[in-house]
Structure 1
C-alpha cells in the first residue's frame, strides 16, 4: 500500500494525513479554485484537478492503492439542512457518488470515506452501500471522536473503511490522551475587546457570567447559537467542533475575542508550517471543512497495519 488519491481534497487534511502515514498522494480533486490553489501550494508534487467531480474522467486519474474521499457533508448534518427539497443540499449529498464512480473504474484496494455519522441515515445510503458492495467492497463504518485520536477538538465523524476483502476491515484504533484547548490557545494573540461594551448581546454576557462561575477567568465558549449550553468550556478539555464560521470565543478576565485562524488550524491538527491565505474568513471556511490531519493519519496507519 503506497499510493493514494484525494477526492474533495479541500484544504488538504486527508492528503496531509496520507503523507504523514507514508503514502504518496498522486492526485487531488476539488471543485473550489481557492481550495485547489492552497492545496497545490502545500502539496506541489501532487497532480491537481479543479473540477466538479460529478463530471470527472476517472480514466485520467493515476492508478492508486487507496482512495480517500470526504464528500460534502452539509446535506447530512443536523446543523445544516435536513430540510426536505433543499436543492443545494440534495446536490451536495450527490457528491457521495463520485467515489463510487472512481471505484468502478479504478478498483483501488481500499477506500476511506469521511463524513458525518448522519451520512448513514441518508435515504440513498442503502443504495450507495449496495453499489460499493457490488463493486466488491466490504464496508466497515467507524464513528470516531477525533479527540480520542489526539486531535485537540471534539469532532465526531464517520470514517467508512472500504476494502476488497470478504469480511469488513474493523480497525484497531488506539485511544489517545485528550489534548486540552489550552495547548492551542495563544493568549498573546488576536484582537481583544472589552466584554462589557455597547451592543454586546445579553446571551453573551450570560454565558460569560456562567463560564466565570464554573471555570474562573479564562475559558472558551460558543459565541453564537448553542453548544456547550449557556456556560462555556474548560481549557482543560478539547475545544468543541471547529466549523466554517467564527464560532468559538476566548475569555480572559474582562476581555474576549474570537479564536484566530491559526488557533482553528491548530485545533484541527494542521502543522504550523501549513501555508494558508491571509484572509481570515477564507481560512476559517477551508479549515472548518477539513478532515483533521492527525485523525486521518491514525485511521490510515491502522488501515496499513490491518491490511
Structure 2
C-alpha cells in the first residue's frame, strides 16, 4: 500500500482522492485548526498536527513517518487570480519553499505540489523547481482541469508530480485511468426544497445581482434555472448554465441558484453539502466542524478528490510495478 504525508492538508479533499486510490495517510499538517479537526474526523488513523510547517521539525517527524509520497498544497491565495488587484503576500508564497526541509528529511520517492497555475509567475518558482530537481526528482509539470476527471466543477490547477526514479507522467496517462463522464452543475444541486429561496425581485436586493440574473434570462429565456456567479474575474456576464460544470469554488460564497415558481424567479446561495459534492469527495467525506462560512472556505481551499485519485492510481501502478520488478 502506498503511504503519504499531507502538508497544507486542509479538510482532506486531496487525501480523500488518495485514499480512494487505496493509499494510506500517515501524517497531516495544517495551520488552521478547523481544517485539522475536519481531517482527523475523516481519517482517524492519521497523525494530524495543527501548526505552520515551518514551526515543526521534519527530521523528528521522519523518525516515525517515512512516506512513499509527500503530498503538498502550499498556500495559493497570494498567487490566485481571485485576489483581483490585491498585492500578494510574499510570506504566503514562500510556504512553497518551506516544503524543501520535508523532502530532505523524509526522502519520499514521490513529491506532489498542487497550486494555481499563476504560481509560475512567482519570482521563486524556478528556484523551487531547480531545488526539487537537485534532490534527484524528475518533475512532471501538468495543468489539469478537475472537470476532465468527472468532477462537477471546472477547477484548473497546476500539479507538479515528481519521481526520484525518473517516471514521465502525462495528462493523457491520467485520463486513461478515468472512466467517469462529464458531470454538470445540475448534479450537485439539492432539489428537495430543503434550502429555502427568496424572490429575486425583493426590496433591498443588490442591483448588481438583479443585472446578472437579467443577463442570464435574456440569454436563456424566462423559466430556465441558472446560477449567478459572484466574485473573482468574470468574463461570462456573472452567470452560468446548469448544463456545464460548476465554475471554480472559492473561499467565499460565490454561487446563487435561481429557480422559478410559475413566472416568479427565486434565488438562494449554494450550501456546503452542495459545494462538497462539487469537490468530488463522495459520500464518505464529511464536514462535521465549523459554521457555514467556514465550511465554504474549507471547500474553496481544497483539491478536487477525483484528480488526486487518478494521480495516486498512476503513482501506485508505477511504484508497485517497480517494486515487483525489484523483488
TM-score range, shorter chain: over 0.9
Q: Tell me the equivalent position of 1:274.
A: 285
1:261 to 257, 267, 272: 272
Q: Tell me the equivalent position of 2:325.
A: none
Question: How far is the alpha carbon of 1:168 from its aligned partner?
Answer: 4.3
Q: Tell me the equivalent position of 1:142.
A: 142
Distance in 2 (alpha carbons) for counterparts of 1:156 and 1:94: 21
Of 218-227 and 89-98, deviating more is 218-227
Q: Tell me the equivalent position of 1:214.
A: 219
Deviations along 1:109-168, whole A, 9 cap, x unmatched?
001111001112210011111111111111111101110011100000011101103464
Distance in 2 (alpha carbons) for counterparts of 1:99 and 1:248: 34
Structure 2 unaligned blocks of 5 or more: 320-327
Deviations along 1:4-40, whole A, 9 cap, x unmatched?
1100111001211111111111111111111111111
Q: Tell me the equivalent position of 2:174.
A: 173
* CA RMSD, Structure 1 to Structure 2 (Å): 1.8
* Secondary structure at the counterpart of residue 250 of structure 2: coil
Q: Tell me the equivalent position of 1:70.
A: 73
Q: Tell me the equivalent position of 1:189.
A: 194
Q: After the TM superposition, which parts of structure 1 deviate over 4 Å for at least 4 consecutive aligned residues? A: 81-84
* Secondary structure at the counterpart of residue 240 of structure 2: coil
Q: Tell me the equivalent position of 1:26.
A: 26
1:26 and 1:106, CA in 2 relative to 1: closer, same or farther beyond 3 A?
same
1:247 to 242, 254, 262: 254
Contact 1:6 1:25 in 2 (8 A): yes
Structure 1 unaligned blocks of 5 or more: none
Distance in 2 (alpha carbons) for counterparts of 1:221 and 1:244: 16
Question: How far is the alpha carbon of 1:231 from its aligned partner?
Answer: 5.2
* Secondary structure at the counterpart of residue 123 of structure 2: coil
Q: Tell me the equivalent position of 1:79.
A: 82
Instruction: State how many pairs are aligned.
Output: 304
TM-score by length of 1: 0.93
Contact 1:138 1:165 in 2 (8 A): yes
TM-score by length of 2: 0.88
Find out whether 1:199 has 2:204 as its counterpart: yes
Question: How far is the alpha carbon of 1:213 from its aligned partner?
Answer: 2.9
1:96 and 1:28, CA in 2 relative to 1: closer, same or farther beyond 3 A?
same
Q: Tell me the equivalent position of 1:284.
A: 296
